[in-house]
Structure 1
């Protein structure tokens, strides 16, 4: 058999018995270039390179998306989970099981309580302020019996005002000013009642009890909540249906600064590390920050988007807050605010440090009790179905306690932990003020 003739620009493959064109960018391959062994080796190398590239890309994405680099609180939580430190959880469980229920004060039949707070003076004297649905505000000292039980001193209990509409909140500032807010209603405009506690230092001149209204141009028809600043000046802030109202306490007068927000403000709170900024939580789910030093030139900045109506804001640490709402409860780091607009993620829900879910249950009732005890790592939550639970701030899990032994008579309001060393939980149940002592 004669060998195949040579054709310029082509080579002959004896296995395939065909001519192939010689490409200009590489040398002409030999017959062994197209054997089954060489082709299988090339396929294996191709698959190896593809797998390596896929693994490298996956590692890069996982590194970019991990929150451990940007969030120190998540790093601390992960360290606690990996090291298996459960001593704090055991202490919380022991504390919760040891609580004992005591009825501190009982209102007259038919009277329902709507707001409650306590205050401890510099001399150690404790007193409570109680607001009712009928519009009454009572200022009552707290005394301890010989058995150690805490009771209201009825002899010195004083009803400081009666009646316009439901008391929506009561607060006490650092100067001893007791402020109660009237919700408002049909033919009853909302108002602020201020009362200086009689035991306040006599070296400072204070005005007598006074009732203050709002500027009609602001169209405020409801006052939902209030909070007092820790600064020595004793500033306060209110949450209304039209926005926030900052109140500067001056001799013989209260200076009001209105900050309009296109949503009802259900929650307000001052920052723990700086008394000048304050946060507002509204029906639209946005958490905004204001600075009282800016006055009327304040421009609200959206710090976080909670993803549902906000009902409570509490401070956890210097840069951390916990936000409770009708749809979810979550904690946020103030050092990592929501992305500013315009951006693709501006309208999305902010990423939380820890999402506790819907701890209050399904429902639409506002004003239910909620508070946190940072020292013991606890939060107390009143649910929409009448139950009250203690939960861990670390895990969000329920902790068995006498608070959840029975369903409460009606929706619980006014839940709060005592500040300081006293291990006590307060709550109001219809017409009773109850305290859970350890």
Structure 2
């Protein structure tokens, strides 16, 4: 939404109904709307939105409307192929993405304080595990609550941290051998930056109960990312100077891999192999947790430093590597330096905000304009951006996740949680 203020050097906050002087980033409060970077971002988004609207209006005037059946995702590719008009490659994925519509859920304030939702993960019986920050302050709290949150108010958090969230992993509610969840935060401040919930056996055998709070790294280091294995029994964590491996069945950190450079992201390729960012000019590192062997693959130039790593399938054959200006797909079976697929994609910040739907073969990633762009792993083509919600929202999209058992993409932004589903609601720009 465009800022309606007309006074040079000032920002008009529509929620508070008054002007604020545009302030340098280092002097503005966290997530302040009147910070210089936010004002510039809103200006870019407004300009881009106007250009998109003009292009759509012009295209609508020049385009002959196709029949409804030919716009259906199940018929579109086959009809196009029969008519011999265009290649069917990627059309099914593009049609599916085009028909995803956003539905918003607003999280209420916390006793008068604004809330920023960091992540939401479904649990059983209509409940969710949620990580939030309050009042624009650093740190996070983790809690379990009904969804959507009702009038019963806020539940007490199960644990809180003074450092920002890196990742929340809801592991198992009913397992006899696994904890309910694990939390990774950025800095090794009290109470720690890794928390593994008590194992179910701890309630029965009090003598084995132990603290599952850890301080990983030194005072001047940070954690960047974590990845849960497919068995949900191991958690890999990357940071400024080390890669850590936690065994969730015993609730402890069991191994550490020292690094010469900081590692921005990490991913499990299969049950025993971890891929991690090897740092500037370091390429993608591979670590076998059984033999402790390690190797470096796909070295990259400094200008294409790694900002994200994902495994697009369960057999670990392919690796998706993100950089500042693009997304590359590599195959572990080939020693060549060139990627199998490459997509142009520019994003904000030091890390990719993205996810992959393994069944669809679709990458969804946030670009520098805070749009969620989609790319096809099967077709090798950009599939377009997701329809934006009507609200202007606050801050960058975070915690992108395809919900298990559903073809629904979820993302968090400020006090709202948005879910894109087939057909969806009407909460879009039209």
> Normalising by the residue count of structure 1, what TM-score does the alignment of the two structures yield?
0.63
| Structure 1 residues 215 and 95: CA distance shift in structure 2, 3 A | closer
Select the residue among 278, 284, 287 that pairs with 2:284. 287
- Is the contact between residue 245 and residue 254 of structure 2 (CA under 8 Å) also seen in structure 1? yes
Post-superposition shift, 1:366?
A: 2.6
- Is the contact between residue 321 and residue 332 of structure 1 (CA under 8 Å) also seen in structure 2? yes
SS at match of 1:389: strand
Separation in structure 2 between the aligned mates of residue 254 and residue 432 of structure 1, nearest angstrom: 34
SS at match of 2:237: strand
| Structure 1 residues 277 and 434: CA distance shift in structure 2, 3 A | same
Match in the other structure for 1:423: 407
- Is the contact between residue 242 and residue 257 of structure 2 (CA under 8 Å) also seen in structure 1? yes
| Structure 1 residues 201 and 351: CA distance shift in structure 2, 3 A | farther
Separation in structure 2 between the aligned mates of residue 180 and residue 189 of structure 1, nearest angstrom: 12
Separation in structure 2 between the aligned mates of residue 235 and residue 169 of structure 1, nearest angstrom: 15
- Is the contact between residue 279 and residue 288 of structure 1 (CA under 8 Å) also seen in structure 2? yes
Separation in structure 2 between the aligned mates of residue 238 and residue 396 of structure 1, nearest angstrom: 31
Separation in structure 1 between the aligned mates of residue 364 and residue 216 of structure 2, nearest angstrom: 34
CA deviation string 1:4-48 (max 9, x = no partner): xxxxxxxxxxxxxxxxxxxxxxxxxxxxxxxxxxxxxxxxxxxxx
CA deviation string 1:384-438 (max 9, x = no partner): 2322223333233242532387765322111111133x12111111232222222
| Structure 1 residues 222 and 98: CA distance shift in structure 2, 3 A | closer
Alignment of 1:369 with 2:353, yes or no, is: yes
SS at match of 2:221: coil
| Structure 1 residues 385 and 351: CA distance shift in structure 2, 3 A | same
Post-superposition shift, 1:154?
A: 7.3
Match in the other structure for 1:221: 221
Post-superposition shift, 1:204?
A: 9.6
Question: Unaligned regions of 5+ residues in structure 1, if any?
Answer: 1-79, 144-150, 339-349
| Structure 1 residues 131 and 194: CA distance shift in structure 2, 3 A | farther
Match in the other structure for 1:411: 396
Match in the other structure for 1:435: 419
Match in the other structure for 2:57: none
Match in the other structure for 1:387: 371
Post-superposition shift, 1:324?
A: 1.5
Match in the other structure for 1:30: none
- Is the contact between residue 196 and residue 248 of structure 2 (CA under 8 Å) also seen in structure 1? no
CA deviation string 1:137-194 (max 9, x = no partner): 3233554xxxxxxx24675855112232112222234634422122117x76962122
- Is the contact between residue 223 and residue 241 of structure 1 (CA under 8 Å) also seen in structure 2? yes
Match in the other structure for 1:355: 342
CA deviation string 1:96-144 (max 9, x = no partner): 324232225345444434x4252556xx86633324363223233554x
- Is the contact between residue 138 and residue 161 of structure 1 (CA under 8 Å) also seen in structure 2? yes
Alignment of 1:231 with 2:228, yes or no, is: no
Alignment of 1:241 with 2:240, yes or no, is: yes
- Is the contact between residue 417 and residue 426 of structure 1 (CA under 8 Å) also seen in structure 2? yes
Separation in structure 2 between the aligned mates of residue 86 and residue 197 of structure 1, nearest angstrom: 50
Higher relative contact order (CA 8 A, sep 6+): 2
Match in the other structure for 2:295: 301
Moved over 6 A (4+): 200-206, 404-407
- Map 1:198-213 to 2 at 5 A: 207=209, 210-213=212-215
| Structure 1 residues 249 and 423: CA distance shift in structure 2, 3 A | closer
SS at match of 1:93: helix
| Structure 1 residues 400 and 329: CA distance shift in structure 2, 3 A | closer
Separation in structure 2 between the aligned mates of residue 300 and residue 166 of structure 1, nearest angstrom: 30
Separation in structure 2 between the aligned mates of residue 333 and residue 204 of structure 1, nearest angstrom: 46
Point out the structure with max Rg over C-alpha. 1
- Is the contact between residue 224 and residue 239 of structure 1 (CA under 8 Å) also seen in structure 2? yes
Separation in structure 2 between the aligned mates of residue 201 and residue 279 of structure 1, nearest angstrom: 33
- Is the contact between residue 322 and residue 329 of structure 1 (CA under 8 Å) also seen in structure 2? yes
- Is the contact between residue 310 and residue 326 of structure 1 (CA under 8 Å) also seen in structure 2? yes
Separation in structure 2 between the aligned mates of residue 405 and residue 390 of structure 1, nearest angstrom: 20
Select the residue among 178, 182, 188 that pairs with 2:181. 178
Match in the other structure for 1:324: 322
Separation in structure 2 between the aligned mates of residue 384 and residue 188 of structure 1, nearest angstrom: 34
